[in-house]
Copies of this chain bind each other. A is one copy, B any other.
């Protein structure tokens, strides 16, 4: 069987650990190198005891990886530190970048939202945005895939097809998202301590979150016009999961059933996106630990409006799972390889 060597750069965070969890059962992938600069020399089992039963390479610095040997690099570095590193990789290495560094096509937008000049503008041009179901053909040929943000995945999967087909209005789209805490990463911060999160909820980045422009980029491309959305993320006591409640207006002569049918048709043959039946309400627990995305469509109280609920596991479809899915597409593997784990409930 065709097997490739994978490196995970920045493996000491939650997305790195999740890549290990998924890739360890992938029939075509060997994890050949894992890096974590500050934890170089440690065993992965000491950083993540839940992976203690696996035979894994020890953590090394990025300089100590033999890149000639690597087919694919999953890059889990923090935003802003990724550009120069990826630019330094040899051409034989294909990359799935889980950071935000190559997601925004417009490097001025990048500068505006991420605060720094883009340091690899040429690479940005060739980067393909890795929303698999939407960009599959481009991903197959890409050397560098910019893996989408967790919130943007949950917002774009339902909205892009509807905007392309002009089934919904382009004004006043509202995306109210609720996220688990893994999205905030493993670095110790007061705001993500157990006692600061448990038994509570709050909104953050209201009106200013960086995933706003990423969502708008995808929706604008689909609609063929500039789209502005209201986007409010909330942090809630949940390890994994994003639920986005999306409020839209129906286009003229379009019913709620029309948009449900439209989405069902779009995703009929997709292994990971499922439009649930009328009356069912997708819950994050229905996708926990899996690469699935569920979409529910509801009539609003107000005539002419609909409510769409989209759930995913932010660590899987919203990060590491979609990264593996993209790798599968890039290398011609079965798209579900390494991703057959079913949701874990309870």
Name which of A98-106, A118-126, A143-151, A280-288 contacts chain B: A280-288
- Contact yes or no, A342 B239, CB < 8 A: no
Which residues of chain B are within 8 angstroms of A200 by Cβ–Cβ distance?
Answer: 238, 241, 283-285, 288
- Contact yes or no, B195 A198, CB < 8 A: no
The listed residue (B17, B186, B237) touching A198 by CB distance below 8 A is B237
- Contact yes or no, B202 A199, CB < 8 A: no
Q: Does A260 contact B (CB under 8 A)?
A: no
Whether A206 touches B284, Cβ cut-off 8 Å, given contacts A193-B193, A342-B24, is: no
- Contact yes or no, A342 B25, CB < 8 A: yes
- Contact yes or no, A193 B186, CB < 8 A: yes
Which residues of chain B are within 8 angstroms of A305 by Cβ–Cβ distance?
Answer: 230
Give A201 to B305 CA distance when docked, in angstroms. 23
Which residues of chain B are within 8 angstroms of A346 by Cβ–Cβ distance?
Answer: 14, 181-182, 195-196, 198-199, 239-240, 315
Which residues of chain B are within 8 angstroms of A234 by Cβ–Cβ distance?
Answer: 178, 243, 245
The listed residue (B282, B340, B341, B343) touching A202 by CB distance below 8 A is B282
The listed residue (B182, B245, B303) touching A232 by CB distance below 8 A is B245
Give A298 to B233 CA distance when docked, in angstroms. 13
Which residues of chain B are within 8 angstroms of A206 by Cβ–Cβ distance?
Answer: 281, 296, 298, 307, 309
Q: Does A292 contact B (CB under 8 A)?
A: yes
* Chain A stretch 216-241: residues in CB contact (< 8 A) with chain B: 228-232, 234, 236-241
* Chain A stretch 35-56: residues in CB contact (< 8 A) with chain B: 48-54
Whether A202 touches B52, Cβ cut-off 8 Å, given contacts A176-B245, A178-B234, A232-B307, is: no
Contact indicator per residue, chain A 284-300, by CB within 8 Å of chain B (1) or not (0): 11111100101010111
- Contact yes or no, A178 B181, CB < 8 A: no
Which residues of chain B are within 8 angstroms of A298 by Cβ–Cβ distance?
Answer: 206-207
Which residues of chain B are within 8 angstroms of A207 by Cβ–Cβ distance?
Answer: 298-301, 307
Task: Please give the residue numbers on chain A whose beta carbons come within 8 Å of chain B beta carbons, in ascending order.
Answer: 14, 17, 20-21, 24-25, 48-54, 172, 174, 176, 178, 180-182, 186, 188-190, 192-204, 206-208, 212, 228-232, 234, 236-241, 243, 245, 247, 274, 276, 280-289, 292, 294, 296, 298-303, 305, 307, 309, 311, 315, 340-346
Show 24 residue pairs from A and B whose CB-CB distance is below 8 angstroms, ordered by the A residue: A20-B342, A21-B344, A24-B342, A25-B342, A48-B345, A49-B280, A50-B288, A52-B274, A176-B247, A178-B234, A182-B346, A188-B193, A193-B193, A194-B197, A200-B241, A202-B282, A202-B283, A202-B285, A203-B281, A207-B299, A230-B247, A232-B307, A237-B238, A289-B344
